[in-house]
Amino acid sequence: MRIVLGVTGSIAAYKACALVRLFVKAGHDVHVVMTAHAQEFVTPLTFQTLSRNKVETEMFAPAQEWNPKHISLATAADTVVVAPATANIIAKMANGIADDVLSSLLLATKARIFVAPAMNTGMWENPATQRNIATLKAQGVRFVAPQTGELACATTGPGRMAEVEDIFAAIAE
């Protein structure tokens, strides 16, 4: 199975490395797409090494082939996973905003989509975020619910990204 993993700007981005390892170990072809903010937490080289594939980071990077990567990956993907998924990418998805390589790919794909949110409790509980999640669920996007626990901002509550084994299991079903 070809899996496209979208990684966004959250401290939980480091967990996405372990998720890539699980996918590759299970025999999946994994392609990682990173937002600019994700690259502040983990480097593309880390994901390239773990996935054994080039990592996409820019919408208008010089093309090595005629087909734009955000379209070719969107078309070729069996499954798209966004982990961690910030409130920002969830809002973009719910409102059809395509202003970077990941949000454009998400708008173009017909593959099944899984989202593993990771954000501060206030952001998670915000009515706008909950409305965006409801919109995406109505469109068939599957969510792997965040856990309640200690967050990077030194608070405790819902918003901690699900464990990678739980995300992997949800996709395997």
Give the catalytic positions in this structure.
153
The alpha carbon of residue 65 and the mean position of all alpha carbons in its chain are separated, in whole angstroms, by 24
CB 4: neighbour CB atoms within 10 A? 27
Residue 57, SS3 per DSSP: coil
Q: How many residues does the chain have?
A: 173
Integer Cα distance of 7 and 149 in angstroms: 21
Nearest one of 95, 80, 140, 88 to 119, comparing CA atoms: 88
Chain position carrying tokens 């797409």: 33
